[in-house]
Amino acid sequence: MKNITTFSELVNHLAEQGMRKNVAVVWAADESTQHAVAQAITDGFITATFVGCEKQLREQAFLLPLLDHITFVDAPTPDDAAAIAVGLVREKKADILMKGLINTDNLLRAILNKETGILPRGNVLTHITAADIPTYDRLLLFTDPAVIPFPTHEQRIKQVEYLATMCRKMGIDEPRIALNHCSEKANEKHFPYTVGYQQIIGMAHEGAFGRCIVDGPLDVKTSCCAASLRTKGIDSPIEGQANAIVFPNIEAGNAFYKTITLFAGAQTAGLLQGPTAPVVVSSRSDSTQSKYYSLAVAAMCS
C-alpha cells in the first residue's frame, strides 16, 4: 500500500480500491450525517443501511441518485434503531456502525448490552481520533480524548493494541506510538502510570502488539519533532515521527484534540474502538467533513 499522509490521500486510496463497506446508520435525522454518508457513497467506498427515518430520508433530493447503494430498515424510535443497527453488526451485515441523531449514552447502551451487544469480553471501549494536521507530515492518531477518563494500565495496553492495528490497516508497516507525558522521565511518585509505560514498552519489544515501535514517556513535541528531541538530548526510536500518541488521561487528550482543531487547522476523524466494528460517534458540533473522514477511516479499519 502506498504511504497515506493526509485524509485526501486516504479518500483517493479508498476510491481506487473500489471496495464498499456497509455502514449501519442509527437514526440519521440530521443533515450533516446524511450528507457525510451521501458523500462517502458518491466517492465509492460506502453502502448505507439507514435504520429509522426512512420517510424523512426518502424526501432528501441528494439521496435519490444514490438509492442503489442504500437500504432502509424500519425502526419506531432511536433506541430501537440502535438495537437493530447493533444487531446488523453482530450478524456481520454491517462493517461500520454510525451514530445519527441519538444520545451517545443510548447508543452505547445498545453496544454494551451483555446479551445483544458487540463489545467482546476483554475488550475496552475507547475513543481514537485520527488527525490531519497541516503542520505535520503524516496522519496522527491519538487516544483517548472523549471516553475513558483515567485509563488503567490494562486499558492503556488495549489502547496501544488498537492504535497499532489501526495504523497498520492505514498502511503504516511499523507504526511509531508515543506514550505521552509532560516530561521524558518516568516518575513513580507523582505519575505512577509512567512506570507502567516501561512495562508496555517491554511488551512491545516482545511483540505483544505486532510490528510497531512504542516509546515514552515523551511529550507532544519530542514525540512529533526530531529537532526538539535532539535539543533535549533524548534518544528515542520514535525519532520525533510519531504516528500515534497515547495520552495519560482525558484532560490531556481532549486539550490536544481541541487545540489542533481550533488553532492548528486540523481535520479530525473520530472512532470508537473495542467493539467488533468501528463506531462513528461524531458529536453534533462536528462538521459534515469530519463525519465523512470518520467514515473513511472506519472503512480503512473495518
- What per-residue string of b and e applies to 261-288 under the rule 16 or more CB within 10 Å gives b? beeeebbbbbbbbbbbbbbbbbeeebeb
Residue 256 as a binder of its own copies (CB under 8 A): the answer is: yes
Distance CA 61, CA 8 (A): 26
Residue 104 as a binder of its own copies (CB under 8 A): the answer is: no
According to DSSP, residue 281 is labeled -
Residue 265 as a binder of its own copies (CB under 8 A): the answer is: yes
| Binding test (CB under 8 A) with its own copies, winner from 180, 268, 282, 288 | 180
| Binding test (CB under 8 A) with its own copies, winner from 145, 151, 175, 274 | 145
Phi, psi of 191 (to 5 degrees): -130, 70
3-state secondary structure of 93: coil
Residue 195 as a binder of its own copies (CB under 8 A): the answer is: no
Residue 7 as a binder of its own copies (CB under 8 A): the answer is: no
Q: Are strands 267-273 and 126-132 parallel, antiparallel or unpaired?
A: antiparallel
Binding track over 198-227 against its own copies, x by CB under 8 A: ---------------------xxx--xx--
Residue 181 as a binder of its own copies (CB under 8 A): the answer is: yes
Residue 174: CB minimum distance to its own copies, A: 23
Which residues lie below 8 Å from residue 230, measured CB to CB, with a gap of 6+? Answer: none
| Binding test (CB under 8 A) with its own copies, winner from 182, 186, 203, 208 | 182
Distance CA 259, CA 263 (A): 6
Residue 255 as a binder of its own copies (CB under 8 A): the answer is: yes
Q: Where along the sequence are the contacts to its own copies (CB under 8 A)?
A: 133, 135-136, 145-146, 149-150, 180-182, 190-191, 219-221, 224-225, 228, 231-232, 247-256, 258-266, 284-285
